[in-house]
Amino acid sequence: VNTEKNIVIIGCGASGGTAAQFARKTDRKTSITIFEKNGYSQYSKCGLPYAISGIIPQLDNLIEFNEEWFKKQNINLLLNTIVEKIDIKNRIVTAKKANTAIEKSYDSIIICTGAKPFIPPVKNINVEGVYVLRSIDDAKKIKSFIKKGKNAVIIGAGLIGLEMADNLYKMGMKITLIEAFPEILPNTIDKDMSEIIYRDITKKITVLTNHLLTNVESINGKISKTIMKNKITGNEEKIPADLMIIAAGTKPEVLLAEEIGCKIGNTGGIIVDEKCQTSIPNVYAVGDCTEYKDFVLGKPMLVGLGSIAVRQGITAGVNAAGGNHKLLKGFLQTSTSEFFDWEIASVGLPSKYLGDKNILSGKFNGSSLPEYFPGGKPITIKLLVDEKDGLILGAQAVGDKAAQRINTFAAAILGGINVETMRKLETAYAPPIAPTLDAVTLVCDIVSMKIERKNR
Amino acid sequence: VNTEKNIVIIGCGASGGTAAQFARKTDRKTSITIFEKNGYSQYSKCGLPYAISGIIPQLDNLIEFNEEWFKKQNINLLLNTIVEKIDIKNRIVTAKKANTAIEKSYDSIIICTGAKPFIPPVKNINVEGVYVLRSIDDAKKIKSFIKKGKNAVIIGAGLIGLEMADNLYKMGMKITLIEAFPEILPNTIDKDMSEIIYRDITKKITVLTNHLLTNVESINGKISKTIMKNKITGNEEKIPADLMIIAAGTKPEVLLAEEIGCKIGNTGGIIVDEKCQTSIPNVYAVGDCTEYKDFVLGKPMLVGLGSIAVRQGITAGVNAAGGNHKLLKGFLQTSTSEFFDWEIASVGLPSKYLGDKNILSGKFNGSSLPEYFPGGKPITIKLLVDEKDGLILGAQAVGDKAAQRINTFAAAILGGINVETMRKLETAYAPPIAPTLDAVTLVCDIVSMKIERKNR
């Protein structure tokens, strides 16, 4: 009689691979099987833009844990295997690899089906030269279309759109970046912050905000032009395009979860609790296919960051293997990126998504070093604070060590430190490293003074 | 009738100058007078090593607020002016500038007399070529003794000693660094952490730990040799020296405060409360002449960091001018420096000073970037946690962006975030910036797992 537990994991992305790894760490004996529909084991999706430009030399370098590794961990990884059905009554997963049907009984199942790219509903879009960037296979196609002096159009000026723009620009392509919002990075930072970058990058590439993709022209089945519409003027514009990349967001892939009755939230993601459990017993879900509470707002939002997916993977993996691990009560949405020599980072949501909160905000713009020390770099931090209690709702940084500075605000949010206390944070000071009062506390000063003025 | 308040500030270092600045910000009309015994207005002492080597081109560059600036702020700054007496009964300060006596009545007084260097009790030490580094005048003397290929001996391998070693090394001098403790940086980080640096710098300079200065030899009144004793073997050693710099710590300068009856603590510093008030009414004290509670230990310690001095200056300045400002309940002792291409930082005290706390510690050693991304730099973080409640007692970092990473732990200590929660901190992730799980959380994992094992 086999008394070992069976864990079945669907999808070997960052969340699925991590879940397997932590299930194994929690229980050395449990049987772990991963079904992955594509032909690659766990790799870094976020690294794809850099492997396309060659900063990361080979696409294969992105594979963080190869098949060998999973084998050594006694994890049964089946690539090119599509899960067709989950029978929750008899606890059996049915999958197909090539033409062979596979049946696997389970005690726990972890759904890590990720997200699929949002494709604008535009005619003629299914032509050669139009790609999304979600997989190594996508990257391979894009890589074959890179040519110095040729035109690349990127749809969506979010983090991935800007990373692709930078990497293709470095390869010598002429870039047009299209964004439907009035600003770049609309889902990451406020417009006054993204404008710092906008002003600079428009010297190097064409950026069209307030523009929508309306059509694609092709010659012999290959893209030749992108047709855009200005949302304000209604004018149409044709832009030559040898390559078009769609980076216009994603939609959670929840088909399997829906079929077995997992509750889906209003965001379209699978509802999970702090243990990553779905509404169906013994079924966990993690990563981009799920929604979870935002720490600050307390309301569910789609998971869209690799860092969160990995943390969910840890939680689900530990719990599925019989351990006990809980997520924080919400996610902080800490994120960062770098493009065109700008480091940006943020924690929490941009102002426009903070709903009915009464926001007091302040912005500090200064140097990373004391004035008298050579080599200081610009750093701008914007802080969003709840007028009611001074609690920090979010922070956005552009410039020197933006990510690590934002991590400090992430800790402040996590610890419930209000802005009045945070302004007194004793930051590390040394002339070659940071000023006596770091930008981190100076931006708190600015907001605190606004609060004082209000309360006078 | 003059109904304006009079604030008198004794000393125009970082704390005194800052106090004046914030007193002025708090009250535009109050009369503010600063008596400064030396000939310079507020400048950066911490910048001196870099101005000696020329990284900061001129010593004058260190002046952060010049006489002109104080004048514009309507702050009456008197340089080269020595305070001789404080009459607390009649509230009059008596000072002397050249041969002119000055009397100034006060409503509040802020004592910012700083600290004086500790000089080892060694005969023959008062010769040419032996200097401390506390002032621009000291730096001028040192600068005149710098010569490529000549021998510099530095007494004390603390932050200033190492900064001086690096800067003189860059000028082509042969360096011998002497430390009485068994390790370098004994008051900043633990030995296992400082050894990372020790192993590297000993390829470039001579470092003698466990050594005491016992004598100085001179020729024509100029230093020629330094005589050291090995504390373990008792052996004496003579080292050629063309320049000797004493960086062996400081003692608070509390004479004036003592004379008027301010309570002095066991550390030798003036006792102040969270408003920077001494035990005498209307007398504040700030900076290196004071002691204040350590945040983690709750027991008083000498203030020795410019970052704390400035924060105290803000508090005393605001309060003396009629505002209301409080320090945090203790200081975090966040500090950083950079030498021989190593960035180090710490918050809290090294293990050996944590007394009867039951410490669980863990150390993470890894890269600043994901493995697959080129250009990752080493980062090592050590975390000290209270076994009882998982609260963070201190953190030490050596390597990439050490200071900003330590600031995140400073926020964690300030917010009372325990290690179990901190390990779940959502740090900013992007391949060119940081891994999905930053060193900041990975070191928390290591300590958390030790706690779990203990509780099993």
Kindly identify which residue of chain A lies nearest to residue B341, measuring between CA atoms. A432
Does the beta-carbon distance from A426 to B331 stay under 8 Å? yes
CA A225 to chain centre: 29
Q: If you average pLDDT over residues B424-431, what whole number do you get?
A: 98
| From A159, A334, A372, residue closest to B44, measured CB to CB | A372
Does the beta-carbon distance from B425 to A412 stay under 8 Å? no
Helix (H, G, I), strand (E, B) or coil at B212: strand
Alpha helix segments (H runs only) across A280-401: 306-320
How near does any CA of chain A get to the CA of B16, in Å? 14
The interface predicted TM-score of the complex, written ipTM, equals: 0.96
Q: Sign of the C-alpha dihedral, residues B64, B68, B73, B79?
A: positive
Does the beta-carbon distance from B430 to A335 stay under 8 Å? yes
Does the beta-carbon distance from B328 to A428 stay under 8 Å? no
Per DSSP (E only), the strands in A286-391 are 290-293, 300-302, 335-339, 342-347, 359-367, 378-386
Known catalytic residues of B are 46
Instruction: Enumerate the residues of chain B whose CB falls inside 8 A of the CB of residue A437.
Output: 307, 310
CB pairs under 8 A between A and B: 230
Token pair for residue A128?
Answer: 């050669």
Q: A56 CB near a chain B CB, below 8 Å?
A: yes
Q: If you average pLDDT over residues B187-195, what whole number do you get?
A: 98
Return d(Cα A331, Cα A308) in angstroms, integer: 7
Does the beta-carbon distance from B307 to A427 stay under 8 Å? yes
Q: A280 CB near a chain B CB, below 8 Å?
A: no
pLDDT digits (tens, 9 = 90+) for B259-301: 999 999 999 999 999 999 999 999 999 999 999 999 999 999 9
Q: What is the DSSP letter of B391?
A: B
Report helix angle A439-455 to A402-414, nearest 10: 50
Token pair for residue B326?
Answer: 């409080």
Helix (H, G, I), strand (E, B) or coil at A454: helix
Return d(Cα A45, Cα B259) in angstroms, integer: 68
Q: A449 CB near a chain B CB, below 8 Å?
A: no
The confidence band for B123, taking pLDDT boundaries of 50, 70 and 90, is confident
pLDDT at position A455 is 82
Instruction: Enumerate the residues of chain B whose CB falls inside 8 A of the CB of residue A306.
Output: 429, 436
Whether residue B239 is predicted with pLDDT greater than 90 in this model: the reply is yes
| From B334, B372, B415, residue closest to A416, measured CB to CB | B415
Give the predicted TM-score (pTM) of the model. 0.97
Calculate ∠ Cα B309-A434-B425, nearest 5°.
Answer: 100
| From A56, A328, A440, residue closest to B407, measured CB to CB | A440
Does the beta-carbon distance from A345 to B433 stay under 8 Å? yes
The confidence band for B1, taking pLDDT boundaries of 50, 70 and 90, is very low
Q: A333, A339, A314, A306: which is closest to A396 by C-alpha?
A: A333
Return d(Cα B402, Cα A430) in angstroms, integer: 12
Whether residue A3 is predicted with pLDDT greater than 80 in this model: the reply is no
Q: What is the DSSP letter of B47?
A: G
User: In sequence order, what are the residues at sequence separation of 6 or more whose Cβ sits closer than 8 angstroms to the Cβ of residue B66?
Assistant: B41
Does the beta-carbon distance from A372 to B428 stay under 8 Å? no
Calculate ∠ Cα B400-B434-B162, nearest 5°.
Answer: 5
Instruction: Enumerate the residues of chain B whose CB falls inside 8 A of the CB of residue A376.
Output: none
Instruction: Enumerate the residues of chain A whose CB falls inside 8 A of the CB of residue B63.
Output: 372
Instruction: Enumerate the residues of chain B whose CB falls inside 8 A of the CB of residue A47.
Output: 370, 372-373, 431
pLDDT digits (tens, 9 = 90+) for A302-356: 999 999 999 999 999 999 999 999 999 999 999 999 999 999 999 999 999 998 8
Buried b (16+ CB within 10 A) or exposed e, A224-243: bbbbbbeeeeeeebebebbb
Q: Which of B436, B441, B444, B449 to probe the A interface (max A CBs under 10 A)?
A: B436
Distances (CA, A) of B230 to A288, B24, B199: 62, 52, 20
Token pair for residue B271?
Answer: 């006792």
Token pair for residue A300?
Answer: 């569910």
Instruction: Enumerate the residues of chain A whose CB falls inside 8 A of the CB of residue B426.
Output: 307-308, 311, 328, 331-334, 347, 410
Whether residue A403 is predicted with pLDDT greater than 80 in this model: the reply is yes
pLDDT digits (tens, 9 = 90+) for B49-95: 999 999 999 999 999 999 999 999 999 999 999 999 999 999 999 99
Calculate ∠ Cα B356-B357-B362, nearest 5°.
Answer: 135
pLDDT at position A344 is 98
Q: A335 CB near a chain B CB, below 8 Å?
A: yes
Kindly identify which residue of chain A lies nearest to residue B422, measuring between CA atoms. A411
Instruction: Enumerate the residues of chain A whose CB falls inside 8 A of the CB of residue B408.
Output: 404, 407-408, 410-411
Q: What is the mean pLDDT of chain B?
A: 96
Q: Which of residues 380-409 of A touch B (CB under 8 A)?
A: 401, 403-409
Does the beta-carbon distance from B306 to A374 stay under 8 Å? no
Instruction: Enumerate the residues of chain B whose CB falls inside 8 A of the CB of residue A332.
Output: 425-426
Token pair for residue A191?
Answer: 């417009």
Q: A306 CB near a chain B CB, below 8 Å?
A: yes
Q: Which of residues 25-54 of B touch A (CB under 8 A)?
A: 44, 46-47, 50
Asked if residue B445 lies in contact with residue B419, where contact means CB atoms within 8 angstroms, the answer is no
Encoded amino acid at B416, one letter: G
Asked if residue A101 lies in contact with residue A94, where contact means CB atoms within 8 angstroms, the answer is yes
The confidence band for A357, taking pLDDT boundaries of 50, 70 and 90, is confident
Return d(Cα A223, Cα A241) in angstroms, integer: 7
DSSP string, B334-389: -EEEEETTEEEEEES--GGGSTT--EEEEEEEEESS-TTSTT--EEEEEEEEETTT
pLDDT at position A1 is 43
Does the beta-carbon distance from A426 to B345 stay under 8 Å? no
β partners of residue B7: B32, B108
Instruction: Enumerate the residues of chain B whose CB falls inside 8 A of the CB of residue A317.
Output: none
Radius of gyration of chain B (CA): 23
Q: B101 CB near a chain A CB, below 8 Å?
A: no
Radius of gyration of chain A (CA): 23
| From A307, A373, A411, residue closest to B429, measured CB to CB | A307
Does the beta-carbon distance from B411 to A421 stay under 8 Å? no
Return d(Cα B320, Cα B26) in angstroms, integer: 9
Q: A437 CB near a chain B CB, below 8 Å?
A: yes
Distances (CA, A) of A403 to A210, A359, A399, A410, B153: 28, 23, 9, 10, 40
Encoded amino acid at B375, one letter: G
Token match 């399997």: residue?
A: A256
pLDDT digits (tens, 9 = 90+) for A84-101: 999 999 999 999 999 999
| From A372, A412, A438, residue closest to B415, measured CB to CB | A412
Which residue out of A12, A46, A262, A444 is catalytically annotated? A46
Q: Is B359 exposed, middle or buried (0-12, 13-18, 19+ CB in 10 A)?
A: middle
| From A44, A410, A425, residue closest to B370, measured CB to CB | A44
Q: Which of residues 57-86 of A touch B (CB under 8 A)?
A: 57, 61-62, 64
User: In sequence order, what are the residues at sequence separation of 6 or more whose Cβ sits closer than 8 angstroms to the Cβ of residue B223?
Assistant: B127, B128, B129, B130, B216, B217, B241, B242, B243, B244
Return d(Cα B119, Cα A224) in angstroms, integer: 78
pLDDT digits (tens, 9 = 90+) for B334-371: 999 999 999 999 999 999 999 888 999 999 999 999 99
Return d(Cα B283, Cα A95) in angstroms, integer: 79
Return d(Cα A107, Cα A29) in angstroms, integer: 14
